């Protein structure tokens, strides 16, 4: 899957222009670079016809596609990376995938060759948590790409439409976009050849876990305050879960129709395909937005041991105060520098599952 080459003989102008986009030296009048990529799916053998149908529903015939990088001077991220969704909805803005690139830099401030991580954000339209995590990851030496789910940011459908509803209505597209994002990232300059990590938070964790169950090459996979059983989490969860559930009902999605809508982003259908040795789930003990039954279901389906199931003494929202420590621990995991995956995050705020 991983390919260090820039496909189809990318010209020196393109290399220089994307170097500018990522924050390295280049003429200031160059604002966009275009790269050519190709889908290189790497799905494992499917053991049943049912599993084959699940995988086929969110995959497509591999094709060539363009990757465009645009500089974003003055913003917290360095560039906006765009490519066409492999599962178009017919809505122009939604079908143009966007990723925010936070570049890894050396001591001189220049972009450097480094590993990459793909992040999938939370339900909140402002995406503040992902922004903070991405900045921290970049400082630790990771090229970090926050994929905007359908309906968010540059993919917003417009006034009166809640982005979270769009993301779930276009759930099949969301999963496919993440799958294609891996190949989009791989053709960009300064991306170190090798595995691309995958990180998802809250809603983004449901999507990321599903993606990792389809595509075997993301490594490692780090999930934060997330779980499985989308339907149960929506029906039984509090706060944001209640709001999203009400919005979906207002759009006509309830009962069996809601269950069917959520199927493309339901990780429990594919969670057994994740590598439990390379997957981490970080949960909040007092989370009532995504109940413990949801996170337990995902951990059990993956087969996580206590070293890969971390616990925070927080709830869904007070986890925010832990972001500095969390970002460092997750970066350690991604960079494979951790001595012990269940080491406390902060001083005594995270424990193994047995330490109740």
Bond prior to 246 in cis (omega within 30° of 0) = no
> Which pLDDT value is given to residue 216?
87
Region for 151 from its dihedrals, namely left if φ exceeds 0, alpha if ψ lies in -120 to 50, beta otherwise: left
Helix (H, G, I), strand (E, B) or coil at 267: helix
CA-wise closest residue to 37 among 245, 209, 189, 234: 189
Helix (H, G, I), strand (E, B) or coil at 179: helix
CA-wise closest residue to 86 among 165, 159, 3, 181: 181
CATH code of the region 12-351: 3.40.50.1820
Helix (H, G, I), strand (E, B) or coil at 273: helix
Contacts of 163 (CB under 8 A, 6+ apart): 125, 149, 151, 152, 156, 157
CB atoms within 10 A of CB 355: 12
The Cα 34–Cα 29 span in angstroms is 15
User: Is the Cα dihedral 325, 330, 335, 337 positive or negative?
Assistant: positive
> Which pLDDT value is given to residue 337?
55
Sequential DSSP letters for 145-178: EEEPPTTSGGG---TT--HHHHHHHTHHHHHHHH
The angle that helices 203-214 and 171-186 make with each other, rounded to 10 degrees, is: 70
Distance linking the first and last C-alpha atoms of the chain:
42
CA-wise closest residue to 350 among 295, 298, 308, 301: 308
The Cα 268–Cα 298 span in angstroms is 6
> Which pLDDT value is given to residue 350?
52
CA angle 116, 176, 118 (to 5 degrees): 15
Burial 180-198 (b: 16+ CB within 10 A, else e): bbbbbbbbbbbbbeebbbb
Helix (H, G, I), strand (E, B) or coil at 191: strand
Domain boundaries along the sequence of the chain: 12-351
Task: Assess contact for 270 and 52: CB atoms under 8 A.
Answer: no
The angle that helices 128-139 and 323-335 make with each other, rounded to 10 degrees, is: 50
Half-sphere exposure of 101 (CA within 13 A, CB side): 34
Tokens of 336: 């494979």
Strand partners, 101: 79, 145
Indicate the DSSP class of residue 271.
G
Helix-, strand-, coil-residue percentages of the chain, each rounded to 5: 40, 20, 45
How far does CA 356 lie from the centroid of its chain? 30
What are the per-10-residue average pLDDT scores of the chain (356 residues)?
A: 32 37 38 93 82 92 97 94 96 95 94 96 90 96 97 87 92 97 97 95 96 94 96 92 93 95 96 96 93 96 96 92 93 74 46 40
Task: Assess contact for 155 and 148: CB atoms under 8 A.
Answer: yes
């Amino acid at each position: 899957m991983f390919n260090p080459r820039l496909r189809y003989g990318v010209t020196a102008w393109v290399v220089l222009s994307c170097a500018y986009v990522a924050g390295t030296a280049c003429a200031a009048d160059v604002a966009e670079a275009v790269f050519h990529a190709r889908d290189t799916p790497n799905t494992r053998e499917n053991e049943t016809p049912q599993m084959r149908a699940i995988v086929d529903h969110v995959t497509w015939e591999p094709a060539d596609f363009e990757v465009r990088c645009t500089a974003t001077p003055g913003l917290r991220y360095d560039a906006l990376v765009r490519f066409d969704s492999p599962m178009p909805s017919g809505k122009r803005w939604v079908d143009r995938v966007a990723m925010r690139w936070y570049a890894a830099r050396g001591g001189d401030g220049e972009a450097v060759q480094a590993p990459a991580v793909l992040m999938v954000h939370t339900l909140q339209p402002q995406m503040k948590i992902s922004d903070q995590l991405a900045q921290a990851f970049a400082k630790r030496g990771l090229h970090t790409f926050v994929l905007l789910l359908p309906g968010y940011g540059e993919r917003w459908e417009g006034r009166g439409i809640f982005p979270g509803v769009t993301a779930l209505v276009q759930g099949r597209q969301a999963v496919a976009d993440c799958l294609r994002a891996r190949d989009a990232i791989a053709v960009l300059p300064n991306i170190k050849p090798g595995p691309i990590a995958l990180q998802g938070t809250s809603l983004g964790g449901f999507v990321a876990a599903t993606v990792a169950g389809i595509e075997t090459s993301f490594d490692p996979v780090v999930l934060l305050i997330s779980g499985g059983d989308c339907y149960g989490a929506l029906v039984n969860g509090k706060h944001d879960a209640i709001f999203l559930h009400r919005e979906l009902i207002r759009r006509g999605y309830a009962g069996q129709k809601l269950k069917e809508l959520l199927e493309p982003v339901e990780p429990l259908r594919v969670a057994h395909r994740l590598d439990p040795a390379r997957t981490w789930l970080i949960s909040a003990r007092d989370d009532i937005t995504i109940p413990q039954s949801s996170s337990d279901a995902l951990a059990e389906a993956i087969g996580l041991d206590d070293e890969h199931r971390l616990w925070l003494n927080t709830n869904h929202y007070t986890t925010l105060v832990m972001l500095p420590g969390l970002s460092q621990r997750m970066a350690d995991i991604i960079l494979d520098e951790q001595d012990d995956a269940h080491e406390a995050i902060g001083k005594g705020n995270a424990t193994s599952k047995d330490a109740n």
